[in-house]
Structure 1
Amino acid sequence: MAVHSINPFLISLFFTFFVLSSHTLFSICTALESEVEDETPFTYVEGTGKGPREWGKINPDWQVCGRGKLQSPIDLLDQRVQVISNLGKLKRDYQPAKATVKNRGHDVTVTWKEDAGKININGTYFKLLQCHWHSPSEHTFNGTRYNLELHVIHQSSNRTTAVIGITYKYGRPDPFLAKLLSHISSIGKEEKDLGIVNPGDIKFGSRKYYRYIGSLTVPPCTEGVIWTIVKKVRTVSREQVHALRNVVHDGFEANARPTQQLEGRPILLYNPVVNRGS
């Protein structure tokens, strides 16, 4: 893994690119609403005419899925990563709030209906909107794909999207999913009230994270998304993963988009102790 010293100007330039890219973004709410149709027009199975390689041809609004140069997910390959210590720790300020759970057909989504807090990235605040799961994981680490990935979706006042990704391997149950499992197992097509859900129950487990600029991983594959992937791989039980797979529509039990070409994008790894020889 290459270790680089990146000055603050380069980091500022990196985030300026995020801001300049944001003018091309759809509203994340609009993008997510387009995914919740009862009969979803895309699938993850190649050879059906609706698989990931064909997403860009299904709908004119989805052309970026096939032509985009900032697509997600990607493989976080050690040789591509620039390790730095001055990117800054991920600042979360979450709070319990009313939430609902819904089977969107291609995934299970928890949406906060009240102010559930925010994250701070490079001085910009991003409001927490929702989270959902992909199985197996979409992002890979040196080609390794894990059993589950959680995406926590946030949006800034100028509608730039920031997603925190957390990957999981089989082991002990995930505490956040444990509190939701009975609701997930019994959801139908309608949105279900969860009462108060504390997003602080989502455990990160590591200060180290990867950051890069990418896209939504489902149609319309909107680009300009700020991705933060927690380096630590957490654990989830087989029962929890099976519950998420069992409730989605047929053909979406495995709902991970294949990794996309990097196209020369920088991948930063925040390591707060890199300058101490760690």
Structure 2
Amino acid sequence: MHGQNHFPISILLISITILLYSTSTSALDELEYSYNEESADGPKHWGDLKREWAACKGDMQSPIDLSNERVTLIPNLGKLTSFYKPQNATVLNRGHDVVVTWKGDAGSININGNEYFLQQSHWHWPSEHTINGKRYELELHMVHVSPQKDGTNKTAVVGILYKYGLPDPFLSELEKYIVEVPDEDEETSIGVIDPSKIFKDSNMYYRYMGSLTTPPCTEGIIWTINTKIRTVSKGQVMLLKNSVLKYYAKKNARPVQILNQREIGFYDSIMAQNVPHYY
């Protein structure tokens, strides 16, 4: 299935440019909001700061608490598999986080028959999503886009949660660049980065429809949260924090949002095999 029905590279690059404009605005723009819950520009007020950010007051916002009481086993979701490949990348301090952006076709994941091409990865501390109320030390978001025939894009984000423990290999590879990254809106080349070293596939995950977790809080985002909790060292989390300490002293995690009537799907390959009449 992979390798067929690809969009021309020109269309892919256009889609990446559009998403960069909508989700990776400059550090200066990002400073127009904060994570201070007591501030007038804090998370509760994001939807009022700009007309373009009105979606932040919507009913399908992220992050959420992935509570067992609200989870439904959906066997036909299937294993999530990536088809990533090494590609040149850059690192950028956006003021509120550090983002790694791939500068070409770094591969994709397939969801419901649609290919979503990897664009960038960034971190939030502490984690934005919680599991049964538990918040972890770090969360990585891998942002993907799927160009549509009508010229729009669909977005899918894979979230990976971390607890304190052994260093994360991906961050270990990037540490020297993060230390040296300018505290301004300037990309730094970090050479070829293989995203398959971050994520390959998942046999157990949560799936729900939500939004971007930063303004403009665009809804209609397909979220996949891997259930496997990885480890990261305290020093690596501090490195990320210190890189944006000039802007946000403690955290860059949006508070958990109301689930409303949304369904949280859950896939477990072992459980799926034991479901009667599974197709």
What is the RMSD of the two structures over their aligned residues, measured on CA atoms? 1.8
Opposite residue 256 of structure 2, the aligned amino acid is: T
Per the alignment, residue 61 of structure 1 pairs with 52
Confirm whether residue 224 of structure 1 aligns to residue 220 of structure 2.
yes
How far apart are 1:251 and its partner, in Å? 2.2
Q: Is the 8 A contact 1:212 1:266 kept in 2?
A: yes
Q: Is the 8 A contact 1:204 1:230 kept in 2?
A: no
| Distance in 2 of aligned mates of 1:52 and 1:242 | 23
TM-score by length of 2: 0.86
Per the alignment, residue 262 of structure 1 pairs with 259
Confirm whether residue 171 of structure 1 aligns to residue 168 of structure 2.
no
Per the alignment, residue 250 of structure 2 pairs with 253
TM-score by length of 1: 0.87
Q: For this pair of structures, how many residues does the alignment match?
A: 252
| Distance in 1 of aligned mates of 2:274 and 2:30 | 53
Q: 2:21 aligns with which of 30, 33, 46?
A: 30
Q: Is the 8 A contact 1:118 1:125 kept in 2?
A: yes
Confirm whether residue 41 of structure 1 aligns to residue 37 of structure 2.
no
Moved over 2 A (4+): 27-30, 33-39, 203-206, 249-253, 275-278
Q: Is the 8 A contact 1:105 1:252 kept in 2?
A: no
Unaligned runs of 5+ in 2: 1-17
| Distance in 2 of aligned mates of 1:72 and 1:133 | 15
How far apart are 1:275 and its partner, in Å? 4.5
How far apart are 1:83 and its partner, in Å? 1.3
| Distance in 1 of aligned mates of 2:101 and 2:19 | 13
Opposite residue 260 of structure 1, the aligned amino acid is: Q
SS state at 1:160 partner = strand
Per the alignment, residue 214 of structure 1 pairs with 210
- What aligned pairs does 1:67-78 form with structure 2 within 5 A after superposition? 68-78=58-68
How far apart are 1:38 and its partner, in Å? 6.1
How far apart are 1:205 and its partner, in Å? 7.6
Unaligned runs of 5+ in 1: 1-26
How far apart are 1:274 and its partner, in Å? 1.1
Q: 2:122 aligns with which of 115, 132, 149?
A: 132
CA deviations 1:141-186 (Å, max 9, x no partner) are 0000000000000000121000000000000111111100110111
Q: Percent identity?
A: 51
Opposite residue 97 of structure 2, the aligned amino acid is: D
Confirm whether residue 111 of structure 1 aligns to residue 101 of structure 2.
yes
